[in-house]
Amino acid sequence: MSRHLERLLQLDTLIRSNQRYTAGGLALAVERSDRTVRSDLAFLRDRLNAPLLYSKTKGYHYTDPDWRLPSITLTLFNHSGQRKIITLA
């Protein structure tokens, strides 16, 4: 799995946790820079249409709690060339 995808999944989990996270707090949690996390948050909002907002009281949160990351299908091959398809939802 790509590092970017893994980080987006981590951020999504943290945002859903009902804890108050700033960009700095999210950056600490995923061990990346503030700039990287802000870029990831913009990607979630602008490219994946996440209903993502920041407020001083709630931190980063989804305005629609039913929103989900889109499903992603991966094809993996083992050392003997056998194919395995995995869907991440």
Residue 59 and residue 19 in contact, taking contact as beta carbons nearer than 8 Å: yes
Q: Which residue has the tokens 């999944």?
A: 9
Pairwise CA distance, residues 19 & 31, whole Å: 17
Domains, the chain, ranges and CATH?
3-88 (1.10.10.10)
CB 15 within 8 A of CB 72: no
pLDDT score, position 88: 64
Chain-centroid distance of CA 86 in Å reads 18
Q: Provide the mean pLDDT of the chain.
A: 90
Q: In this predicted structure, what is the pLDDT of residue 84?
A: 77
Q: Per-residue confidence at 83, pLDDT binned at 50, 70, 90? A: confident
Higher pLDDT, 76 or 40: 40
| Per-residue confidence (pLDDT) for residue 89, from 0 to 100 | 59
Which pLDDT tens digit goes with each residue over 28-51?
Answer: 999 999 999 999 999 999 999 999
